[in-house]
Structure 1
């Protein structure tokens, strides 16, 4: 989920460490390298998926029958607490907006309508003040958090919700871009994007995957990899925490705001 160009070497090193341990544990047909595809939903549905990462919102809405949760990463970025993270609500640094109420009637940038941090959590924050009416003049789909950030920084949109882990990476690699926006709030915290495996993966392999992650979390020699990815560990048995994402959706609908609009 955070495979930025600048992070690809660390992401690859992270996978190689996992793959090596899986092979040492006796697993066969472990991919030597990651499969990178724009068809992420197809990858999530693949019955042979061994290991991947998914946004929790589409997972509980559409993919519960196709995947099972392996673990939830614990990120060390600002805005994270334990295995939970949040969205930052950002506006152009030159704008006069100070609160969400100030952006009524403006243009909202959303990475995807099936994004928890880009849409679901923003909708939840807008619902109590929308009064069951359209809140934004328009909502534009950008395709990624980075493009939403660019849209706000360049004045093509007035507000966006950016996942705090993504924002931390953007601050590190593109400070000249993040300096052109300001935070006017943050969302409630929810479980970070989980690592997943196919539903058909048997319990024995699932156990090995979790044991391997526990080892990778503390293994000497991987400190720089973990630091680059902002990973501080992994939480297990978090399935129920993702059901909360649907409750957040339902609460917005109960307030007369079922869609971000």
Structure 2
């Protein structure tokens, strides 16, 4: 979920490989698989019965994925906007000439990474709901496919506002500083549990515990990897920890703002 550069992708693969090595010593084989880039392929991958380690967004989790998976844990990142195991979205506009408040974005063009994203869609919808009139607020919503593309759209003037996962924003500041230099933060959304690490429902509790323990040990043993990923720990969590994500969707709906538009 956070492969925002080739070097970061390599670090995430390293973490997976360390987990695989740990599990192999107990007779469990873990093989890395690329689920594909499109949303349908990713959702299908999350539902595979042999899936032992992946990361999902909290919004799909509470919108139907939960019965198919077990939670391995929730990441604890060391980045601005994260506290313990929670994260926020930063609401950003174009640097210099963008609006100063979310209310001033009425009629503007919003960039959204994906319609099933909490950080890019659900959190922004919740923030906008009190300001909407007759179920509308923005003049146009552009689906970009990724937070990096949303940052690029806002920076280039192709969109006016976007909600960006604060972890992605921190990674982008380091690996794509030109994108972050082109935007300015005007707000933040409420904190919710971070993107969960998941396994198939077929994985029993002891195996899930071993996967989490292997991830924590790998991070503990490699301080440099931990710093590059900005990932301090993987803490135990439950689906109930993600109910605030559902609550934000419900609140927007009750205000008559069921869709980001």
Instruction: Compute the TM-score of the two structures, normalised by the length of structure 1.
Output: 0.95
Structure 1, gaps ≥5 residues long = none
Equivalent residue, structure 2, for 1:245: 245
Q: Please, what TM-score do these two structures have when normalized by structure 2?
A: 0.95
Note if 1:48 corresponds to 2:50. yes
Matched residue, 1:144: 146
- Asked if residue 37 in structure 1 is aligned to residue 36 in structure 2, the reply is yes
Contact 1:85 1:165 in 2 (8 A): yes
1:27 deviation in Å?
A: 3.1
Query: How far is 1:36 from its partner?
Result: 4.7
- The runs of at least 4 aligned residues of structure 1 exceeding 4 Å deviation read none
Alignment of 1:228-243 (within 5 A): 228-243=228-243
What residue number does 2:257 align with? 257
Cα-to-partner distance string for 1:216-241 (whole Å, 9 max, x where unaligned): 2322xx11111111101111033211
The alpha-carbon deviation at position 213 of structure 1 amounts to 2.5
Q: Distance in 1 between matches of 2:67 and 2:35?
A: 23
Q: How does 1:86-97 map to 2 (within 5 A)?
A: 86-97=88-99
1:188 aligns with 2:190: yes
| Gap runs ≥5 in structure 2 | none
Residue pair 1:131, 1:255 contacting (<8 A) in 2 also: no
Cα distance in 2, alignment partners of residues 243 and 237 from structure 1: 12
1:10 is aligned to 2:11: yes
Greater displacement, 111-120 / 12-21: 12-21
Match of 2:71 in 1: 69
Shift of 1:34: 4.5
For residues 111-168 of structure 1, give each alpha carbon's deviation from its aligned partner in whole angstroms, at most 9, with x where no partner exists. Answer: 0110000000001110111144310001111011011111000000000100000000
C-alpha distance in 1, partners of 2:243/2:59?
Answer: 9
Helix, strand or coil at the partner of 1:217: helix
CA contact 1:118–1:145 (8 Å) conserved in 2 = yes
Q: What is the distance in 2 between the residues matched to 1:179 and 1:3?
A: 20
Distance, in Å, in 2 between the alignment partners of 1:46 and 1:217 is 26
- Does the 8 Å CA contact 1:132/1:255 hold for their aligned counterparts? no
- 2:3 counterpart SS class: coil
Are 1:27 and 2:19 matched, yes or no? Answer: no
The answer to whether structure 1 residue 123 and structure 2 residue 125 are counterparts is: yes
